[in-house]
Amino acid sequence: MFLKSNTCVELTNMENFWSKILFQIGSFQISGGQLTLGILLVLGLLILDWLVLFWILPKLFRRFQVEQARRRQVRRRFQPLFLYGIVLSWMWVSKMDHTLYEDHIRRINVSTLIQGLMLWQIAFIVDLILGRVILRGFFKAQENLKNPILMGGTSGLQRTWNTSNRYIKYAVYVVTCLFLLRLFNTDFTFFEGKIGKNLYALRISNVLGAALVILLAQLVIWIIVHLFLGNFYRRRNVNIGSQFAFNQLVNYLIYFVAGLIALHFVGVNITVIAGGTVALLVGVGIGLQQTFNDFFSGILLLFERSIEVGDWVEIDGLVGKVRRIGPRTSVVQTRDNRSVIVPNSKLVIDNVTNWSHGDDLARFQVEVGVAYGADTQLVMKLLKEVAQNHPKVLPTPEVSARLVLFGHSSLDFEVYFWSNEFMRIEDVKSDIRLGIEQKFRENKIEIPYTQTDVWVRNWQKEGS
């Protein structure tokens, strides 16, 4: 009975303290309960601050090998965020919130501005951690692994990282703007009208939502291609051409779906668009026939894979390496480092020699003529010896030589060799020709000039 009485007294005292006004200035007052709740919230935020700064972030920094300057930058970004949290907590506990602006649509308080600052600070932090910490650490790891999907030299790696970081930044700030529009209730309608029987209104949030869909599509493509497919390509040892073809098909599919979703965000009826697209294609089909031909030829190349990125091709006497197969055109880099833009339809319709289709080996030949009377067996031996000794000539298949023609002035030979040095094959041929000339000189084998015998009939009779 005595214990029960003490408990009741303690509860009564606690209730009295909870409701007791400890501090008051005009209409502003703080009770014991508000003070206790405010202190607990501040302690909770301080504990959260300590966990983030001294436990979570250090683990993240070690995981992605973040340099000291970047670590300090991330920590500095968190300090204002926790300060805003403490101010908001006390404003909520004390119910002290001044109205700055109010009309029939929106009401903006001091707490609204602080929440907006918190959202913007969170955007800074998310952008910094995703782009400068996690993404940067991932690319460093891929650079150490020499991942061919991401590599393209140091400039290629840097370019890929810059592009990915830029899309992350845009996506983060677009999401932040959507939250701010909702927070301040400022989703204005900047276009409103009637389409058919339906009213149509285009708001800021519609445009930002459509932009966010496209940005997220870019990020999804990056994640699928560089994370999931990249590991699969390495395990299966998939060649670069096949990787590029499949990656492009993934790009087209995701962009197509994202485009439909983006149109839905801005309130466009997909059925109407489909019907209008058919009519448009019929209307401009003749004028854009070649463009559509190139586009579908590009898709056909990706599916058929008769020509892939990395292949060596010869088109109308032009020899080069395929660097990119785009939606409408492809880029071929020639031996003198020129980039030639080739319409995709030309690669599909015209006769194209693919030197590296199926494998990266090709047979080449060097021609030479010797004077009649030369030791043909010695000539054959010297030709094969010179070609075999060149470092860019493959040992298998074996080098071979043939007597191909009894010419007007010479016995014509050809030496055949295999190589995968497509870019500098003319240099290889030049080296072999120089070696042949030196060997022939050492062995007294003559490379004749072109000779022509002129017979004059009845020379004496006509001259007398």
Axis crossing angle, helix 57-64 with helix 68-94, rounded to the nearest 10:
150
Q: What is the dihedral of CA 11, 13, 14, 20, to 10 degrees?
A: 140
Report the range of poorest mean pLDDT among 9-23, 221-235, 299-313: 9-23
DSSP run (H or E) holding 25: strand 21-25
Q: What's the pLDDT score for residue 459?
A: 60
- Tell me the average pLDDT across 324-329: 83
Task: Read off the pTM.
Answer: 0.63
Report the range of poorest mean pLDDT among 43-52, 125-134, 234-243, 273-282: 273-282
Second CATH level (architecture) for the domain 362-442: 2-Layer Sandwich (3.30)
Higher pLDDT, 279 or 51: 51
| CA-wise closest residue to 417 among 368, 381, 383 | 383
Please, which pLDDT band fits residue 180 given cuts at 50, 70 and 90?
Answer: very high
* Rounded alpha-carbon distances, angstroms, from residue 107 to 7, 110, 179, 186, 379: 46, 10, 16, 11, 97
CA dist 30 and 9 (Å) reads 24
The string of DSSP codes covering 398-454 is PPEEEEEEE-SSSEEEEEEEEE---TTHHHHHHHHHHHHHHHHHHTT---PPP----
Q: What's the pLDDT score for residue 2?
A: 41
Higher pLDDT, 190 or 282: 190
Higher pLDDT, 55 or 267: 55
Q: What's the pLDDT score for residue 307?
A: 84
In percent, the amount of the chain with pLDDT more than 70 equals 81
Residue 244 scores a pLDDT above 70: yes
Residue 392 token pair:
């860019």
The string of DSSP codes covering 229-247 is IHHHHHHHT--HHHHHHHH
In percent, the amount of the chain with pLDDT more than 90 equals 23
Q: Each residue of 195-225: pLDDT tens digit?
A: 666 677 788 888 899 999 999 998 888 888 8
Residue 294, Cβ density class (10 Å: 0-12 exposed, 13-18 middle, ≥19 buried): buried
Please, which pLDDT band fits residue 406 given cuts at 50, 70 and 90?
Answer: very high
Q: What CATH number labels 285-354?
A: 2.30.30.60
Count other Cβ atoms within 10 Å, centred on residue 141. Answer: 13
Q: What's the pLDDT score for residue 367?
A: 94
Please, which pLDDT band fits residue 314 given cuts at 50, 70 and 90?
Answer: confident
The string of DSSP codes covering 293-309 is HHHHHHHHHHHH-SS-T
Please, which pLDDT band fits residue 1 given cuts at 50, 70 and 90?
Answer: very low
Residue 131 scores a pLDDT above 70: yes
- Tell me the average pLDDT across 83-88: 88
* Rounded alpha-carbon distances, angstroms, from residue 309 to 274, 324, 357, 377: 33, 6, 11, 43
What is the SS3 assignment for 36?
A: helix
Please, which pLDDT band fits residue 104 given cuts at 50, 70 and 90?
Answer: confident
Residue 79 token pair:
């300090």
| CA-wise closest residue to 226 among 325, 135, 322 | 135
Q: Are 344 and 328 in contact (CB under 8 A)?
A: yes
The string of DSSP codes covering 68-90 is HHHHHHHHHHHHHHHHHHHHHHH
Higher pLDDT, 234 or 382: 382
Please, which pLDDT band fits residue 357 given cuts at 50, 70 and 90?
Answer: confident
Higher pLDDT, 292 or 225: 225
Q: For residue 429, which phi and psi values (nearest 5 degrees)?
A: -60, -40
What percentage of the chain's residues is helix, strand, coil (to nearest 5)?
60, 15, 25
Q: What's the pLDDT score for residue 280?
A: 58
Please, which pLDDT band fits residue 91 given cuts at 50, 70 and 90?
Answer: confident
In the DSSP assignment, the letter for residue 52 is I
Q: What's the pLDDT score for residue 166?
A: 87
Residue 404 scores a pLDDT above 90: yes
CA dist 42 and 38 (Å) reads 6
Q: What's the pLDDT score for residue 28?
A: 59
Q: Give Rg (Cα) of the chain.
A: 38
Please, which pLDDT band fits residue 380 given cuts at 50, 70 and 90?
Answer: very high
Q: What's the pLDDT score for residue 115?
A: 92
Residue 443 scores a pLDDT above 60: yes
CA dist 109 and 157 (Å) reads 47
What is the SS3 assignment for 458?
A: coil
- Tell me the average pLDDT across 393-409: 91
Q: Do domains 285-354 and 362-442 have the same CATH topology?
A: no
Please, which pLDDT band fits residue 14 given cuts at 50, 70 and 90?
Answer: low
Report the range of poorest mean pLDDT among 60-64, 115-119, 131-135, 437-441: 131-135
Higher pLDDT, 179 or 283: 179
| CA-wise closest residue to 305 among 354, 366, 364 | 354
Higher pLDDT, 327 or 402: 402
Is the bond preceding residue 397 a cis peptide, omega within 30 degrees? yes
Q: For residue 95, which phi and psi values (nearest 5 degrees)?
A: 55, 35
Q: Are 140 and 133 in contact (CB under 8 A)?
A: no
Count other Cβ atoms within 10 Å, centred on residue 309. Answer: 20
Q: What's the pLDDT score for residue 147?
A: 52
Sign of CA dihedral 420, 311, 368, 411: positive
CA dist 256 and 327 (Å) reads 13
**For the chain, what is the mean pLDDT?**
80
Higher pLDDT, 308 or 413: 413
Domain ranges in the chain?
285-354, 362-442
In the DSSP assignment, the letter for residue 147 is -
Highest mean pLDDT among 77-81, 119-123, 446-450: 119-123
Q: What's the pLDDT score for residue 19?
A: 64
The string of DSSP codes covering 376-403 is HHHHHHHHHHHHHTSTTS-SSSPPEEEE
Please, which pLDDT band fits residue 369 given cuts at 50, 70 and 90?
Answer: very high
Residue 56 token pair:
């979570």
